[in-house]
Every structure is written in structure tokens, then in C-alpha cells.
Structure 1
Amino acid sequence: MNNVATPVLRNHAKEKLSRGEPVYSMTVRLVRTVDIASIAYTAGFDSVYIDMEHSSFPLEAAGQICMACNHLGLTPLVRVPGLDPTFIARVMDSGAMGIIVPDVESADQARALVRAVKHAPLGERSLAGAAPQLHYRTFPADQVVRVLDEASMVVAMIESQAGLDAVEEIAAVDGVDMLLVGANDLSVELGIAGQMDDPQIHKAFLRVIEACRANGKSIGIGGLGGWPDLIKQYQDLGAGYVSTGNDISFLSAAAAQKRQQFV
């Protein structure tokens, strides 16, 4: 029997960002099972983002983790390899609450990302029917489209000089929720690989922050997990979303620390 109640879907990370509260995220590149959602939840993270750009992560595993996160009240985001609308739609249909696209360098690319994530009139994504985000309950199509699009996050990564040069236009695109600075790739392109305290990186963060402020968009910090003082500095300047590190680095650090206890 169809459930005629009005669908309710909450994106807790998006809500926190809208209130000016910090959101701390754990990147998943290694663990393929739903256990990682509970580990992130117990550790106190607000969000998990599954990295399908720099891993061999299969879509089925990503979808299972997204569904587990949704049940726990964590916000599951997925970084896809690029602007493939068919693949983005499949990721969203598998339970993701938002898409992160790397290396966005123009407003046209940002608009293409919005079209891939959102349904009409803002986008062009096909309506799949009963959604895992709504626990496969059946609602009128117009209500499903509305709640999915209101809850979903569209995140464009700025990690190149071209992206910085167009950041004001990218931030102005309707439907983009957040710009996430990818400090690792940005530092490589600028010829200062890994030098996160270099003035060029600071200047880049300030430009992104100003563009987001001017357009009412959230600001994300990526690649600074090992630089907590810098993270705090950019949070004080308005950044809200913090990518703290990934499961590989967390496991490696904890394993090394444990081994040193037995030297």
C-alpha cells in the first residue's frame, strides 16, 4: 500500500552548515563494508565522504555505506571521478546525499554538475522512483523530487589555478551548495607540493572564502588534515566543512602508534 504521508528527508550536515556550525567529515577510501558508517558515527563525525576518484571503490559498496550512514543520521557524500551525469545519477540513486566533483574550473562545469544532481526544473536527473534515502517508501513524484533536491548537496572542488581564476563565477551558480578547496592538488599545481602554509595557498583560501561569502555558499577545507592550526584559522574566517582525513591515514597512524608501545 502506498504511504500518502508527506516525505521528510534531512541532510544534517547541510542543516548545520546553514546554521553556521562546523561539519567534520571522514573520507572513506579503504573500508568496503557498512561497519565504517558506525565507526564514523561513534567517533563523532557529521559526514562521511566516499572517495571514488582515488580508490577502486565499487558502486555497490558505496551505496551500502551511504544507506548505513542515512540510518545513523550521518551525511554521506560521494566524490566521483568526474562530470559523468549517468554515473552521478547512479550514485545518487544508490543513497548518496550529495556529490563532490573534483577540479571544477568553470561556471559551465558547475552548472553541468547541478544538472546531473538535481531534477527539473533546476536539473536534468531522471526520477528513479522509490529512493533509498526515503527508505524505499512510495510518495507522489512531485514530493519525491522536491525533498530529494532540497536535501541533496552539490559540491564543487577548487584545486587548480583555472578553478581559482573562475571561482567567483563558480560560486554564483544556482544550485551549488559548497566550494571545497582541494589543497593537495592545488599545492602541486602551484609548484609547492605539500607546503600548506605557503602564502599562495593562504591567498587561494581567502579568495574562495570571499567568493562563497558573496554568494551565500558554504566553504569546505580539504587536504589540511595534518595542519589543525590552519584548519582553525580558516574556520575562524568562515569555513564550515572540514575534511579531516581518510580511513587509510587513520588506520596507519593508529597502527604505528600502537606498535611504538612495544619498542
Structure 2
Amino acid sequence: MPGTDRPHSPDRRMPGAGRTAVVSGASSGIGAATAARLAAEGFDVVLGARRLDRLTSLADSIGGRALQLDVTDPTSVDAFAGAVDRVDVLVNNAGGAFDANPVADADLDSWARTYEVNVLGTVRLTKALLPALRASGAGDVVFMSSTAGLISYEGGASYTAAKHGVHTLAETLRLELNGEPVRVLEIAPGMVRTEEFSANRLGSSDAADAVYRGVREPLVAEDVADCVAWAVTRPHHVNIDLMIVRPLAQAAQHKVARES
């Protein structure tokens, strides 16, 4: 079929050449690092996030294109999708955690916010861009989930419930697209130290610092971006269903080596 045999440029040094990658939540953290890494791989990168000033600065520095995007707003998602002509790779990175309360003290507004951005926002953007991904002839949908989407832990119910939703969303979409030229890939990071995630969740930089205290070399955003870049530059018949990536110091969700 015309258009089905162009998943990669023949230039192995720039495997993303000729392909367009969309990254949501690209103004900071894993999203920003992923956008920069994909641009370095030769992709034309479209960056989406709410904070347009930060987004534009990053886009200018990597040669990408910044478009304002709020995945919780259907009108914003529709406008974003309408402004993108081609999509070969979609990295669903927008997300976050906003509390660490036990279920007995659940803040339902926080639960709703967490589900809205992590799950419904991901569904909105994927649905809006799926026609373009199909039309590319060799599309990739990347879901940025978490080890929290695979195992629960105390004080994490709102986030783990949402990320479990992302995990099953990826599994379901892969089944539904079976036989079509669109891969569905899931990256599930463990402990990643970024400038905003834990601070947004816990309310202060001091509380965020305590999460990583004594942990030798937690992952950083660039480590996860490296995993995304590797996954989407495999030959298109190779599907990375699920990649779990943790720092060496974290053997499991509850097992973290800490130095005194």
C-alpha cells in the first residue's frame, strides 16, 4: 500500500528524519527532555503544554514548534490537533500527581484533577490525533505511565488509580489497533527526580527533596527520554509493549537503598 513503507529515514545517523513527533506536557521534566532528545534524533517536534512562554523558549532552542495545549480542555485539544498537519509519533506525557493522602482522607477534587489530566486528557489527545497517526502509515503512540500503574502503595491511591488507568488504556488500544500500522508503546518509570513532580504533589521543595534523600543517582528526565527515543526508533515491526525503568537503587516500589 502507498505510504506504508516509510517508517524511518535511510540515514541511520538521524533515525527520526522526515518524521513528526508530538510531545504533550513538554514545558518541563520528562516532556521537555523527550522533546529535546527526539529533536536531536532528527524528528520534527511539536511541543504542547499550557505554559506557552516556557514552551516557546524550549522549542526555539531545539528547533521545534510550540503550540499551547491543555489536555483537560476539549476545545484546546481540538485546536491543537487542527494545527498539526502530520503526526508519526505521539508521546502522551502530560500528567501529574497532586496529593499523597490515604484513602480515608481522600480529597475528591484532587482525585478528579488527577484522573482528568492523566487519563481523560490522554484519551482526548490520542483520539484527536489517531487519524493522523493512522495516515502516517507507521505511527507510534507512546504512553508515559509509571510503576505506580503496575503496583499500589500507601498514600498514593489517587495517582496509582490514574496510572493504572493509563496502563489499561495502552493495553486496550493495542488490542483495538491490532493489524493496523500503529504501534502502542508504554514507558513506566520508577523514581525520577525532576524539578516539579514531587513538589507539585507534596506542596514544597523541602518535602520533595525528602523523597530522594540518600538515594544514590535517582533517574533524571533525560534517562526516560533516552528510553522513549530508543523505543520509537526500533524497526516498525518491533513493538515495545511495556518498558519498566528504575534507578539501580530502587529494586521495587517499596525497596529503595538509601545512604546515610
What TM-score comes out, normalization by structure 1 length? 0.36
